[in-house]
Amino acid sequence: MHILKPLRASRPVAPLVGTLTVPGDKSISHRALMFGALAVGETRISGLLEGEDVLRTAAAMRALGAEVIQDGPGAWRVSGRGVGGLTEPADVLDMGNSGTAARLLAGILASHPFFSVMTGDASLRRRPMRRVTDPLAASGARFLSREGGRLPLAIVGAQDAMPLEYRVPVPSAQVKSALLLCGLNAAGVTRIEEPEATRDHSENMLRHFGATVSVEQVGASRIISLTGQPHLAAADVVVPGDPSSAAFAAVAAVLVPGSKVRIVGLGLNPLRCGLFTTLREMGADLVVENARTEGGEPVGDLVVRHGPLRAVDVPWDRAPSMIDEYPVLAVAAAFATGTTRMLGLKELRVKESDRLSATAALLAANGVRVEIIGDDLIVHGNGRAPAGGAMVETHMDHRLAMSALVLGLASVAPVAVDDASFIDTSFPGFVDLMNGLVGNGGTPAISAA
C-alpha cells in the first residue's frame, strides 16, 4: 500500500549558501546501464544516479542476462552480452515510474527474438507508448498492449530486425533513442529524422562505445544515421550532475534573497540547458566556471546568485532542451515582473501527470494569476513573492512536488505538498540537500507537513 508523505516548505531565516553536487544525470545513467549491457566486456560507471527510476533499469538489464553489480555509492560495473546477446527474461519487467526506461527498453526488446512483458506503476501505466511501438513495429517486432498503447506491454521481438527509417513527428529524445537502440541489432543503416534537435546523449554514448553515428543538418531537421550490428566495446562512463535536478537548487537560489549557490560537476549539454538560458534572459545571475569535457559531455560548475527577474517569452522550439523544467520555471515566472509566456507545451500533457494543467493549478492555488491558452502557459507576475499557503496536489509527479517546495521557500506563506514520496525516483536526498543550504540555526526549511 502506498503511504503518502506530505511535506511543507517555508521561507528560511537566512539565505541559501553553499556548494553542492546534485545526483547523476538520469538520462545518462539509464543509457550507461543499457549500453554497458549491450557492449562486450566490463563497463565501469561512476556517479550513477541511484534513484528508483535508474534502479529499475539496472534490474531490467540484469533480468535480460547482463551482470550488473554495485561496488559503492554511484559506482557500478556492467558486464555486457554484446549487441543482440540479451536473453529472454523469466518474469515481467517492472519499470516503476520511469517513462524513459520503458520507452528506451522497448527499442532494445524489439530487436531481440524473444517474448517479454513490461509494466509500471499506476502513473506509468497511464502514459502513452504507441509513439515508440508504432515505429518500432517496422523492425518486425510485434506489440500487444492495453487500449491506447498503454502498459502492460507484451513484446515479441523481431527474428531478424530490419533497419528503420522514420521521421519523428514531434521532438522526442525518448522516441529517437528507442529507434536507435532497436537499430543497433539490425543489419543496415537506421536513419532517424527529427524536426528539431533533442538531447543527444544516445548519439554521444553510442560513439563512446564504438558505434558509427553521423548527424546531418538538413534545413531545420537533423538526420541521425546509425550503422547496425557494430561491435560495442566496454567503455567507462562518468555521469555528470543532472541539470534537471540542479534546476530546483538554481531557481531557489535566484528567488531567496541573499543566496549564492555553487553546483559542481554539472552536465551542461546545450540540448539540456534551456532552463539556464531562459533564466539568464530573465536577468538571473548564472555563471559557469571550470568548464570541461568528460565522456563526450560538456561539464562545469554553475554559480547562481539571487536577483530580480523580468518576464520573457519562451519560444516553442526551446521545449526539447527544458521539457522537464517548465514547472520550476513557472515558479520563477511567478516572482518576475511582467507576463511570461511559455509556448508550445503540448508534450507536458503526457508526462508523469498532465504537467501543464497541474503546474497551472499549483500556481493558482498559491495566489498566482495563470492561464492556459491552447498549449501555452501564461504566468502573470508582479515582481513580488506570491501569497503561497496552499496544499498542492502532486499527482504522483516528482517534479511538481519539488517545484511546489521551491515556491514555498520564497512565497509569503509556507507551501505544502500532499505527497513527496515520488521525489526519490529522480532526486534521492533532495530534502536534505536543500535544507543543507539553509543557515537556519538547525531549523529545516522543508519538513513534514
d(CA 49, CA 98): 13
Residue 130 confidence (pLDDT) above 90: yes
d(CA 106, CA 123): 18
Q: Which residues, including other chains, have CB under 8 Å from residue 119's CB and lie 6 or more apart?
A: 92, 93, 94, 95, 125, 151, 152, 153
Q: Which residue has the cell 567507462?
A: 236
Strand order in the sheet with 313-314: 313-314, 337-342, 376-382, 369-373
Residue 353: pLDDT over 90: no
| pLDDT the model gives residue 443 | 79
Task: Report the 3 state secondary structure along 336-403.
Answer: CEEEEEECCCHHHHHCCCCHHHHHHHHHHHCCCEEEEECCEEEEEEECCCCCECCEECCCCCHHHHHH
* Angle 213-216-217 from CA coordinates, rounded to 5°: 150
The CA-atom distances, in angstroms, between 240 and each of 23, 37, 221 are 8, 20, 28
Give the tens place of pLDDT for each residue, 236-271.
Answer: 999 999 999 999 999 999 999 999 999 999 999 999
Distances (CA, A) of 205 to 31, 237, 254, 264, 294: 8, 9, 33, 22, 11
Model confidence at 293: pLDDT above 90: no
pLDDT at 350: 76
How many whole angstroms separate alpha carbon 385 and alpha carbon 321?
A: 27
Cell digits of residue 74: 554511484
When pLDDT is cut at 50, 70 and 90, the band that residue 424 belongs to is: confident
* Residue 187 banded pLDDT, cuts 50, 70, 90: very high
- What is the per-residue pLDDT for 347? 87
Top-confidence residue, 390 or 297? 390
Q: 10 Å Cβ neighbour count for 147? A: 5
Are 101 and 95 spatial neighbours (Cβ–Cβ below 8 Å)?
yes
- Where are the strands (E) in 80-141, listed by range? 93-94, 115-119
Burial 20-44 (b: 16+ CB within 10 A, else e): bebbbbbbbbbbbbbbbbbbbeebb
Global confidence as pTM? 0.87
- The single-letter DSSP state of residue 178 is H
Chain centroid to Cα 286, Å, comes to: 21
Active site residue ranges: 324
Say which amino acid occupies 203. E
Q: At what angle do helices 398-408 and 243-255 cross, to 10 degrees?
A: 20
State the Cα–Cα distance between residues 256 and 151, nearest whole angstrom: 41
142-166 average pLDDT score: 97
**Over pLDDT 70: what percentage of the chain?**
98
pLDDT value, residue 440: 56
Bridge partners (DSSP) of residue 413 are: 388
CB 222 within 8 A of CB 193: yes
Q: Which domains does the chain carry?
A: 7-24+240-448 (3.65.10.10), 26-228 (3.65.10.10)
Alpha carbon distances (Å) from 164 to 54, 65, 112, 176, 212: 27, 26, 15, 11, 16
pLDDT single digits (tens) 18-36: 999 999 999 999 999 999 9
Q: CA–CA separation, 241 vs 264, rounded Å?
A: 8
Q: What is the mean pLDDT of residues 370-380?
A: 97
Checking if the pLDDT of 95 tops 90, the result is yes
Helices 52-63 and 99-110: angle between axes, nearest 10 degrees: 20
Write the DSSP assignment of 276-339 as a string of letters: HHHHHHTT-EEEEEEEEEETTEEEEEEEEE----B--EE-GGGGGGTGGGHHHHHHHHHHSEEE
Helix (H) or strand (E) holding 139: none
Residue 311 backbone phi and psi in degrees, to 5: -70, 150
Q: Please report, in angstroms and rounded to a whole number, the separation of the first and last CA atoms in the chain.
A: 20
User: What is the chain's alpha carbon radius of gyration, rounded to the nearest angstrom?
Assistant: 21
Q: Cα separation of 176 and 191, whole Å?
A: 10
